[in-house]
C-alpha cells in the first residue's frame, strides 16, 4: 500500500492491484479500491465485471492471486480470521429461516456468533428495535414482506456490530417500497459509524446512498468519484424539447442551437431535440419564448441533468442491467459457496 501508510486510518477498505483468474479468464485484473470510513461506497459494473468477486475476496471467502488488501486495517491474507471478526456480509438473497420468527432468527445467529443465550437474546431485541421490526418480532419470517426480510437479514449481519458491512446487490428483486425500506436501514447504519461497501444493479440506489462510486469493468476500476463528479464527466445540464409536429422539428433545432454550448442532437422518431446548455434557466426561457412566438406546438420542454446511467453508458459502452450471475462472477459465487458451505450458513462462516 505504498504512499498510503500515513493515511491508513482514513480507509476502512484498501485494495491495490488485486488479480484473480479462473483458468484463462481474468475476474479481477489489477483492481484498486479505497473506501473511506463511515461512508457508503458504491461499486458499479456490467455483468461479469468482477463486482461479486471483489466482495468475496475482501470478505475472505475467496483467495486472490496477487496484490494487497486490507479491511478494517487488517491484512486479508495474513489474518483472515481477524477480518471476519470485524465485517458483516449480506448477499443477493436473504439468508433467514422463514419458519422461525424474526426474534428466533436473530437469536440463532447470535449463538452462531458465540454470544451465548442471554447476550444473543438481548442483542436480538436491540436489533429488532433498530430495524423497526419489533411489532413483527414474533411472527414467522415467511410472513414478512420482501423489505422486512431484507431488513432482518441486515440485522443478522450486524450481530457483532461490524466495522465494515459488505452488501452485494441487497435489493435485487425488491419492489420500490421495499428498496426504500432497505435504503433507510443502510443510512441508519452509516449514521452509527458502519462503513458500507455496496454493489448494486440499480443506478438510482448508488446515486441516493453512495458518497463515492467506483465503476469497474473487465476486473479493474475505470472511474472513481462522487456521484456528481461522475455526472460532470458526461457534461452539464441539457435542454430537451419535444414538438408535436415533425414539420416543426427544424424550428426547434434552430431555437435550441441559439442557446446551446454544443451542437443540438435531434431524434426524428421521437420528435425530440436536446443539447448542452450553460445557463439553464435563461436557455429554457428563451427557447420556450422563441417557439411560442413561432407558433410551434410543444409536447414537452425541460432541463435534464446527466444521470449515472449516462455515465455508465459513456464508460462501459452499454447500459446496466440485472446481474444474471454469468461469466466470471458466477464462477466466483460457485467457488465461494464451496469454501463457505451452504448459503444459509454464510454468516456463521464470516464469524468463524
Mean pLDDT over residues 117-134, rounded?
91
Lowest mean pLDDT among 49-53, 141-145, 229-233: 229-233
Whether the per-residue pLDDT at 175 is higher than 50: the answer is yes
Whether the per-residue pLDDT at 287 is higher than 80: the answer is yes
Query: What pTM was computed for the model?
Result: 0.74
Whether the per-residue pLDDT at 341 is higher than 50: the answer is no
What's the pLDDT band for 201 if we cut at 50, 70, 90?
confident
- Predicted confidence at residue 323, as pLDDT, reads 39
- What mean pLDDT, rounded, does the chain reach? 84
Domain with CATH 3.30.70.100 in the chain: 236-305
Per-residue pLDDT tens digits for 3-39: 444 455 789 999 999 999 988 889 999 999 999 999 9
Lowest mean pLDDT among 146-150, 254-258, 286-290, 305-309: 305-309
Mean pLDDT over residues 263-291, rounded?
88
Domain with CATH 3.40.50.300 in the chain: 5-231+314-351
The CATH number of the structural domain formed by 5-231+314-351 is 3.40.50.300
Of 342 and 58, more confident: 58
Query: Domain 236-305, what architecture?
Result: 2-Layer Sandwich (3.30)
Lowest mean pLDDT among 104-113, 180-189, 309-318, 332-341: 332-341
Whether the per-residue pLDDT at 96 is higher than 50: the answer is yes
Lowest mean pLDDT among 12-21, 39-48, 123-132, 168-177: 168-177
Of 253 and 235, more confident: 253
Question: Angle CA(113)–CA(114)–CA(119) in degrees, nearest 5?
Answer: 100
Amino acid at each position: 500500500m505504498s504512499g498510503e501508510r500515513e493515511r491508513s486510518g482514513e480507509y476502512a477498505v484498501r485494495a491495490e492491484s488485486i488479480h484473480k483468474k479462473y483458468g484463462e479468464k481474468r475476474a479481477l485484473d489489477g483492481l484498486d479500491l479505497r473506501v473511506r470510513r463511515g461512508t457508503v461506497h458504491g461499486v458499479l459494473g456490467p455483468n461479469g465485471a468482477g463486482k461479486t468477486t471483489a466482495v468475496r475476496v475482501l470478505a475472505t471467502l475467496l483467495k486472490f492471486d496477487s496484490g494487497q488488501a486490507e479491511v478494517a486495517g487488517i491484512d486479508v491474507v495474513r489474518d483472515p480470521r481477524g477480518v471476519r471478526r470485524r465485517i458483516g456480509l449480506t448477499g443477493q438473497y436473504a439468508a433467514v429461516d422463514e419458519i422461525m420468527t424474526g426474534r428466533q432468527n436473530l437469536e440463532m445467529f447470535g449463538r452462531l456468533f458465540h454470544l451465548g443465550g442471554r447476550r444473543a437474546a438481548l442483542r436480538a431485541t436491540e436489533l429488532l428495535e433498530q430495524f423497526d421490526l419489533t411489532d413483527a418480532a414474533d411472527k414467522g419470517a415467511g410472513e414478512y414482506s420482501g423489505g422486512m426480510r431484507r431488513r432482518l437479514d441486515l440485522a443478522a449481519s450486524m450481530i457483532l456490530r461490524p466495522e465494515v458491512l459488505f452488501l452485494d446487490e441487497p435489493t435485487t428483486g425488491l419492489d420500490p417500497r421495499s428498496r426504500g425500506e432497505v435504503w433507510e436501514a443502510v443510512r441508519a447504519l452509516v449514521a452509527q459509524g458502519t462503513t458500507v461497501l455496496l454493489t448494486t444493479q440499480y443506478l438510482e440506489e448508488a446515486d441516493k446512498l453512495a458518497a463515492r462510486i467506483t465503476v469497474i469493468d473487465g476486473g479493474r476500476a475505470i472511474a472513481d468519484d462522487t456521484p456528481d463528479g461522475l455526472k460532470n464527466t458526461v457534461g452539464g445540464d441539457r435542454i430537451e424539447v419535444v414538438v408535436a409536429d415533425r414539420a416543426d422539428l427544424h424550428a426547434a433545432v434552430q431555437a435550441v442551437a441559439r442557446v446551446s454550448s454544443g451542437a443540438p442532437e435531434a431524434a426524428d422518431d421521437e420528435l425530440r431535440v436536446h443539447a448542452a446548455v450553460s445557463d439553464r434557466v435563461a436557455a429554457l426561457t428563451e427557447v420556450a419564448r422563441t417557439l411560442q412566438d413561432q407558433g410551434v406546438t410543444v409536447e414537452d420542454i425541460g432541463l435534464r441533468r446527466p444521470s449515472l446511467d449516462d455515465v455508465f453508458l459513456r464508460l462501459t459502452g452499454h447500459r446496466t442491467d440485472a446481474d444474471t450471475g454469468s461469466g466470471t462472477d458466477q464462477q466466483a459465487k460457485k467457488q465461494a459457496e464451496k469454501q463457505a458451505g451452504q448459503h444459509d450458513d454464510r454468516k456463521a462462516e464470516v464469524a468463524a
